[in-house]
Amino acid sequence: MMRMVFRTFTLISAAFAASACGTTSSAHQDDPLYVWNKGVFAFNKAADKVVVEPVARTYHNIVPKPGRDGVRNALGNLRSPVILGNDLLQGKFGRASKTLARFGINSTFGIVGLFDVAKRAGIKGHTEDMGQTLAVWGISSGPYVMLPILGPSNFRDTTGFILDIGLEPLTYMRFNGRNAILTGRFGVNGVSVREVNLDTIEALRNASIDEYASLKSAYEQLRANAISDGKVNIDDLPDYDEYEDEK
Amino acid sequence: MLFIKSIIVAAFFSLLFAGSSIAAPADEAFVQQKANEALAILRDDSLDPAAKTARFADYVDNVTDVPRVARFVLGKYARGADPQKLASFTEVFREYASGVYESQLGNFGGETLKVLGSQDRKPGDSVVTSVISGGKIEEPIKVNWRIRTRNGQQTVLDVQIFGIWLALQQRNEITSVIANHGGDIEAAIDVLREKVAKGNYGEKDAKAASH
């Protein structure tokens, strides 16, 4: 497993190192792929404006809220095996048992996951992915990278995104139409995620002083928060006196 | 014998608490009191929007150390900065920060805030964890407060809501603007002035626009 992680991480690093060769800006030392990232950010923003957001808004206007909630619940339920695998790989057995219980309850009483019955029974859901697992294992994030269509990421999370495919049961099933199901699910999930974040993304854009930096910062903070399961690690907080003039 | 026993007990407790942070009860009381004051301003329907904004700006001035936070958000550009530019930046940042906090907290009012606990980062620097619940919100929202104490005076340095520390977020954006303009603080002053003039800070406006 570790060898596979290392290989994937190395491949991704090499691919980006080649594509971003000579793009490091001295003004953005914490963002070595700045030029590449800014270009992809502009592309993603245009794609969002022309395709993704209009589709998400149409979906919001046509499908009533209970329907949208059902789709989101079902997609979340289908993700349970990946979450369970990562719960276990992180040694979080309590959370793993909750994921398993939720999957069992929602797949049956929740009619293939359309209704989140488990939440009403007091078993709240959570997310985990291989990017978070790698972080828990002590692997550093690597440079921030903006992926076409997929959006903000870093080397660790991109590696995790690929490795999560290995935890997905559909990967190992062989039947006609499997690829169409996988592609359709990816597309519906994208629209569903964009729809639920219509307000948040608009708020982020309205509030931001520098939209690119705002997204990068929000992504990094939210990922750190997800890795720590919402707990504040006080040692990771910056010092407020760091840039005081020396007296 | 008693002396040896004391050493053993002390060693036991030092082991027990090694690596764990100590709570800061005074800071917890401070957060509870100041959060209640903020919620009281936000739910005061006798104030018109302009009066509410002015009252909230006074409140932010009172509970946060604005010049210190302004220096923090300037990051490395604060060190050795021209005092006049620094003063101009602090002035416009005060208005901007107040607008952001009002916008972020503006949707609350009928809710209550309960302090859950705290961690001492180092002397005079703690994080207080609280939860906002009730009112219009479906799920309780966790809010963390970074508190600084100097000479017995407590101030709020940063607030984390929905997993994002606001001042840290502002620092990452403001330093990016300055970096894109050759390290000139003036660029950040101009951007913030424009933002304040438009009065567009996000949360409240986006919700109003989409419903």
Model confidence pLDDT, tens digit, residues B76-86: 999 888 999 99
Residue B1, in any domain of the structure: no
Contact A110, A73 (CB under 8 A): yes
Average pLDDT score over residue span B44-70: 86
Q: Quick one: what percent of chain A has pLDDT higher than 70? A: 87
Contact state of B169 with A214 under an 8 Å Cβ cutoff: yes
CA–CA min distance A59, chain B (Å): 14
Give A216's contacts in chain B (Cβ within 8 Å): 172
Cα(A31)–Cα(B119) distance, integer angstroms? 31
Q: Whole-model pTM? A: 0.84
B145 — phi, psi (to 5°)? Answer: -125, 130
Instruction: Write down the pLDDT at residue A16.
Output: 52
Determine the Cα angle at B52 with ends B51 and B57, to 5°.
Answer: 100
Sheet holding B164-165, edge to edge: B112-122, B125-133, B141-150, B153-161, B164-165
ipTM value > 0.85? no
Q: For residue A88, what are the contacts with CB-CB under 8 A and spacing of at least 6?
A: A96
C-alpha to C-alpha distances, B189 to B31, B80, B85, B92, B178, nearest whole angstrom: 30, 17, 8, 7, 9
In contact, A207 and B100? CB cutoff 8 Å: yes
Average pLDDT over residues A224-235: 92
Which residues from A are below 8 Å from B125, CB to CB? Answer: 240
* B97, pLDDT greater than 90: no
Report whether B156 contacts B146 (CB < 8 A): yes
B204 belongs to a structural domain: no
Residue B44 maps to a domain? yes
pLDDT band at residue A246 under the 50/70/90 scheme: low
Which structural domain range is residue B114 located in? 13-198
Give dist(CA A76, CA A115) in Å, integer.
Answer: 11
Q: Which of A137-146, A181-190, B92-101 has the lowest mean pLDDT?
A: B92-101
Distances (CA, A) of A152 to A40, A71, A73: 10, 24, 24
**Average pLDDT along chain A:** 88
Q: Residues B179-183: what's their mean pLDDT?
A: 92
Mean pLDDT of chain B: 82
- The distance of B36 to chain A (nearest Cα, Å) reads 23
On chain B, the residues whose CB falls within 8 A of the CB of A199 are: 206-207, 210
- Comparing A100-114, A150-164, B3-17, B81-95, the range with the smallest average pLDDT is B3-17
Task: Note whether residue B49 is domain-resident.
Answer: yes
Residue B202: pLDDT band (50, 70, 90) is low
Instruction: Return the pLDDT at B17.
Output: 40
Q: Which pLDDT score is estimated for B89?
A: 96
Query: Which chain A residue lies closest to B204 (C-alpha atoms)?
Result: A203
Q: What is the pLDDT of residues A11-51, one digit of tens each?
A: 555 555 555 444 445 678 889 999 999 999 999 999 999 99
The tally of domains found in chain B comes to: 1
| H or E stretch covering B165 | strand B164-165
Q: What is the pLDDT of residues A102-159, one digit of tens each?
A: 999 999 999 989 999 999 999 999 999 999 999 999 999 999 999 999 999 999 999 9
Q: Rounded mean pLDDT of B37-61?
A: 84
CATH number, domain containing residue B179: 3.10.450.710
Indicate yes or no: CB of B164 within 8 angstroms of CB of A245.
Answer: no
Question: Has residue B11 got a pLDDT over 80?
Answer: no
Would you say residue B8 lies in a domain? no
What angle (nearest 5°) sits at the alpha carbon of residue B45, between those of residues B41 and B46? Answer: 95
C-alpha A154/C-alpha A160 separation (Å) is 10
